[in-house]
């Protein structure tokens, strides 16, 4: 057997960290077990891990944003998502980003977690059935968001879907308000939507945003328009 895979665990609950540790054998060497994006990025830079087990919903941002930054820094890192967040957009991103696997906290078992970890250790993939269902839907449905919206439009949906103004989105993304307005009109036309409320409902239904995003956005707008989601530290 070769050297154990240097591993970091990113999970916001201590009980979850303990469970994940218990599923790892001597093929893995846990370098860090952390509960936030900031701590995870510090661990990534310090340990240069081969494998990361990631929760998707973390207290200081999205585990998917963290995963993308890890992949940008080390393309061949193996990623296993373990989360209760199973909306279509999240699972589509997990698959398209190249995660080695995903386990659904809602209905997955400890046995499945063991299986997923074993498969990743062998260089294979293991996706919960819900990921396979979502990807089949995306490929088969001509009206799926992945076929209708460009990657840039999907990125904008994260902001448009919380009801942010063109000016606020432009400030966040470094665009001109008129450009955001143009994107908004094209997206709504493509999706067959008439009002901002329709857009918000679509964004929530597909997972571009959730109720927490809406609450955070409205609260921060009242406090001067701070960024809704924190990015991993630079």
The pLDDT > 90 percentage for the chain reads 82
Looking at the structure, tell me whether residues 11 and 104 fall in a common domain. yes
Residue after which a domain boundary falls, among 106, 138, 170: 138
Residue 23 in contact with residue 113, Cβ under 8 Å? yes
Is residue 232 domain-resident?
no
Looking at the structure, tell me whether residues 112 and 209 fall in a common domain. no
Summarize the confidence of residues 140-155 as an average pLDDT: 94
Supply the range of the domain harboring residue 163: 145-222
- pLDDT-derived band at 71 (thresholds 50, 70, 90) equals very high
Tokens of 157: 């949906």
Measuring CA to CA, which residue among 150, 54, 137, 141 is closest to residue 88? 137
Looking at the structure, tell me whether residues 159 and 192 fall in a common domain. yes
| Each residue's pLDDT tens digit, 79-135 | 999 999 999 999 999 999 999 999 999 999 999 999 999 999 999 999 999 999 999
Whole-angstrom Cα distance, residue 171 to residue 85?
A: 28
| HSE (side-chain half, CA atoms, 13 Å) at 222 | 6
The two beta strands, 61-62 and 57-58, are antiparallel
pTM: 0.82
CATH code for the domain of 82: 3.40.50.2300
User: Which ranges constitute the DSSP H helices of 161-207?
Assistant: 166-173, 177-191, 196-206
| β-strand partners of 82 | 103
Looking at the structure, tell me whether residues 25 and 118 fall in a common domain. yes
Domain count, the chain: 2
Residue after which a domain boundary falls, among 138, 158, 192: 138
Looking at the structure, tell me whether residues 100 and 156 fall in a common domain. no
Looking at the structure, tell me whether residues 123 and 183 fall in a common domain. no
Helix (H, G, I), strand (E, B), or coil: what is residue 135?
A: helix
């Amino acid at each position: 057997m070769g050297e154990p895979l240097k591993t970091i665990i990113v999970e916001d609950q201590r009980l979850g960290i303990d469970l994940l540790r218990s599923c790892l054998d001597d093929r893995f060497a846990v370098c860090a077990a952390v509960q936030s994006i900031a701590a995870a990025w510090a661990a990534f830079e310090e340990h240069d891990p081969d494998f990361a087990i990631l929760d998707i919903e973390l207290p200081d941002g999205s585990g998917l944003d963290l995963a993308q930054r890890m992949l940008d820094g080390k393309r061949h890192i193996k990623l296993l998502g373990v989360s209760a967040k199973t909306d279509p957009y999240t699972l589509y991103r997990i698959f398209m980003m190249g995660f080695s696997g995903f386990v659904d906290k809602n209905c997955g078992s400890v046995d499945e977690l063991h299986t997923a970890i074993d498969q990743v250790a062998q260089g294979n993939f293991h996706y919960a059935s819900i990921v396979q269902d979502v990807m089949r839907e995306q490929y088969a449905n001509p009206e799926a968001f992945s076929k209708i919206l460009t990657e840039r439009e999907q990125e904008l949906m994260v902001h448009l879907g919380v009801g942010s103004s063109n000016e606020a989105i432009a400030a966040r993304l470094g665009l001109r308000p008129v450009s955001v307005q143009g994107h908004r009109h094209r997206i709504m036309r493509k999706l067959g939507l008439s009002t901002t409320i329709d857009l918000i409902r679509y964004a929530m239904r597909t997972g571009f945003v959730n109720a927490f995003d809406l609450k955070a956005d409205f609260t921060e707008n009242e406090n001067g328009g701070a960024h809704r989601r924190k990015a991993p530290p630079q």
